[in-house]
């Protein structure tokens, strides 16, 4: 069956490797070099020299765009370098959602129609389509609102994962539930003494002792040693048992880390995961959070974390907002966010024969082959829908063979980030995966929510 017109064949899976060969020259240098070969930009540069170029200014051999409102200068990107900017600010940094990709590019670069280029790029990103989790209804989130950074933290173990060359098997995840700043440590074991030592040495020494700690009911958190340590720290203990699995804030973070690892490990040995952890954490800390309205880095430190090459841009460091103002703004944003979030109803989008869809995969882990299903892509495709058998059951053409599938499919080229709940809220909400795809449905057979993850450990 022919694909529908809305999904042109030229959008077949984009392979990031193709672009990798071009990455030898630093991005900013390439942009400035390409500016000189771009006819349109050369014209603007000439006008600038004559003193009548509007917002475009030639400075130190590069063409900048001055934002009329903020007066911040952004490097003008010629057509030939835009693909690479999109690649470096989306594909290379863990595939953030559409809004987040727009935000991080727009704060550094300028070109006309930028938002549309980004939307198009994310919409057609094969890895995003394969790697995204099925979305759940937001209605079951339970509010849990700390009011200060590092006042309430969540502590959780993930794993065991394929053992790495450095003997690591577990990840200890520590999250500040206000700013959503995440610390994660690859560990050889998940016992209580190691946990206590690590928190004291690597977390509390930097961020201070929290008032409350949220954990699950795992053996480490039931032990006498843990209770005694918390007494010494004068921390109140809560367990995530008071949450439904979907609203559990630690699940949310774990899913994000897993998603990050999955994307960074695509096509690589899964037992290298511990080497990817720092990049995953960097990405998460730089990503704007829909609930607080800012990035974890901004909320905690008052500044964004620089990327390689940022120092070559004329990024104007905004005046650091005083901490109490940052906290107050984030509190306000969280309250607004909660109100909006509560009012969103799940959505179901039609699928019809002829549509191209991604289907959910159900991989199983295999320790002997150092393969971990949780790091594998969540979706495969696109496949053509050949027949609709009932409201939720479809027949797909999978490489020539007809396969029956339930409604855990997502339309190709459809942006799953529609509706009032936007994609970048993916990394922000306390409830896991609460936004919903166009085709997301809660009636999916076990495909929704963290419990259904085949490797929920």
- Which residues contribute to the site for Zn ion (CB under 5 A)? 95, 125, 127-128
CB of 27 to Zn ion, least distance (A): 18
How many Å from the N-terminal Cα to the C-terminal Cα in the chain?
Answer: 41
Structure tokens at 403: 């396969």
Torsional sign, CA 324, 330, 332, 334: negative
In the complex, the smallest distance separating the C-beta of residue 91 from Zn ion, rounded to whole angstroms, is 6
**Rounded least distance, CB 303 to Zn ion, Å:** 26
Q: How far apart are the C-alpha atoms of 403 and 437, rounded to whole Å? A: 22
Smallest Cα–Cα separation from 421: which of 256, 294, 291?
Answer: 291
- As given in the structure block, the two tokens for residue 328 are 């107050």
Residue closer to Zn ion by CB (options 73, 90) is 90
Q: 100 or 453, CB closer to Zn ion?
A: 100
In the complex with Zn ion, which residue's Cβ is closer, 128 or 235? 128
Closest CA to 32 of 69, 58, 7: 58
- Looking at the Cβ atoms of 95 and 259, the one nearer to Zn ion is 95
DSSP assignment of 325-362: HHHHHHHHHHHHHHHHHHTPPP------TT-EEEEE--
Residues with Cβ within 8 Å of 98's Cβ and at least 6 positions away in sequence, in order, are 118, 119, 122, 123, 415, 417, 422, 423, 424
* Gyration radius of the chain over CA positions: 23
Residues in the chain: 457
DSSP line for 226-263: HHHHHHHHT-EEEEGGGS-GGG-HHHHHHHHHHHHHHH
Nearer to Zn ion by Cβ, of 172 and 263: the residue is: 263
Nearer to Zn ion, 195 or 265 (CB): 265
**Least CB distance to Zn ion at residue 403 (A):** 25
Q: Which is nearer to Zn ion, 127 or 141 (CB)?
A: 127
Closest CB 120 distance from Zn ion, rounded Å: 12
Least distance (Å) between residue 129 CB and Zn ion: 8
**Least spacing, CB of residue 113 vs Zn ion, in Å:** 20
Shortest separation between residue 122's beta carbon and Zn ion, angstroms: 6
DSSP state of 454: T
Q: Residue 245: how many CB atoms within 10 A of its CB?
A: 16
Cβ burial, residue 27 (10 Å; 0-12/13-18/19+): buried
Q: Indicate the residue among 127 and 265 with the shorter CB distance to Zn ion.
A: 127
Instruction: Provide long-range contacts, Cβ within 8 A and 24+ apart, for 59-65.
Output: 59/314, 61/32, 62/31, 62/32, 62/35, 63/35, 64/110, 64/314, 65/110
By beta-carbon proximity to Zn ion, the closer residue of 90 and 168 is 90
User: Would you say 257 and 232 are in contact if contact means Cβ atoms under 8 Å apart?
Assistant: no
Q: Which is nearer to Zn ion, 94 or 162 (CB)?
A: 94
Q: How far is the CB of 282 from Zn ion (least distance, A)?
A: 17
Min separation Cβ 423 and Zn ion, Å: 10
| DSSP per residue, 89-133 | HTGGGT---HHHHHHHHHTTEE-TTHHHHHHHHHHT-HHHHHHPP
């Amino acid at each position: 069956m022919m694909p529908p017109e809305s999904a042109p064949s030229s959008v077949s899976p984009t392979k990031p490797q193709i672009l990798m060969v071009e990455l030898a020259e630093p991005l900013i240098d390439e942009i400035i070099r390409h500016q000189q070969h771009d006819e349109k930009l050369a014209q603007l540069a000439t006008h600038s020299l004559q003193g009548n170029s509007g917002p475009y200014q030639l400075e130190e051999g590069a063409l900048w765009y001055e934002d009329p409102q903020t007066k911040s200068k952004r490097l003008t990107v010629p057509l030939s370098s835009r693909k690479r900017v999109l690649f470096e600010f989306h594909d290379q940094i863990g595939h953030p959602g559409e809004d987040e990709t727009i935000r991080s590019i727009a704060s550094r670069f300028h070109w006309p129609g930028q938002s549309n280029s980004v939307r198009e790029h994310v919409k057609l990103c094969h890895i995003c389509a394969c790697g995204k989790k099925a979305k759940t209804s937001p209605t079951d989130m339970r509010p849990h609102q700390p009011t200060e950074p590092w006042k309430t933290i969540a502590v959780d173990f993930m794993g065991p994962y394929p053992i790495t060359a450095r003997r690591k098997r577990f990840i200890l995840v520590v999250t500040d539930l206000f700013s959503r700043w995440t610390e994660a440590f690859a560990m050889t074991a998940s016992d209580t003494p190691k946990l206590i030592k690590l928190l004291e040495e690597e977390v509390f020494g930097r961020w201070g002792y929290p008032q409350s700690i949220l954990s699950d009911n795992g053996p480490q958190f039931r032990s006498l040693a843990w209770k005694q340590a918390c007494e010494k720290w004068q921390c109140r203990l809560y367990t995530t048992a008071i949450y439904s699995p979907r609203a559990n804030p630690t699940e949310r973070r774990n899913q994000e880390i897993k998603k990050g690892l999955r994307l960074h490990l695509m096509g690589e040995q899964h037992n290298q995961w511990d080497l990817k952890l720092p990049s995953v954490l960097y990405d998460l800390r730089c990503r704007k959070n829909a609930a607080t309205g800012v990035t974890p880095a901004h909320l905690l430190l008052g500044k964004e974390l620089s990327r390689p090459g940022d120092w070559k841009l004329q990024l104007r460091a905004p005046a650091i907002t005083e901490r109490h103002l940052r906290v107050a703004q984030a509190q306000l944003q969280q309250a607004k966010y909660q109100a909006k979030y509560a009012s969103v109803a799940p959505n179901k989008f039609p699928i019809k024969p002829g549509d191209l869809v991604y289907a959910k995969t159900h991989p199983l882990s295999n320790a002997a082959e150092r393969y971990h299903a949780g790091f594998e892509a969540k979706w495969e495709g696109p496949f053509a829908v050949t027949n609709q058998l009932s409201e939720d059951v479809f027949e797909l053409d999978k490489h020539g063979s007809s396969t029956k599938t339930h409604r855990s499919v997502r339309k190709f080229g459809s942006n799953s980030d529609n509706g009032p709940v936007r994609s970048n809220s993916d990394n922000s909400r306390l409830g896991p995966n609460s936004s919903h795809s166009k085709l997301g449905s809660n009636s999916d057979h076990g495909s929704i929510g963290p419990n259904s993850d085949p490797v929920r450990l």
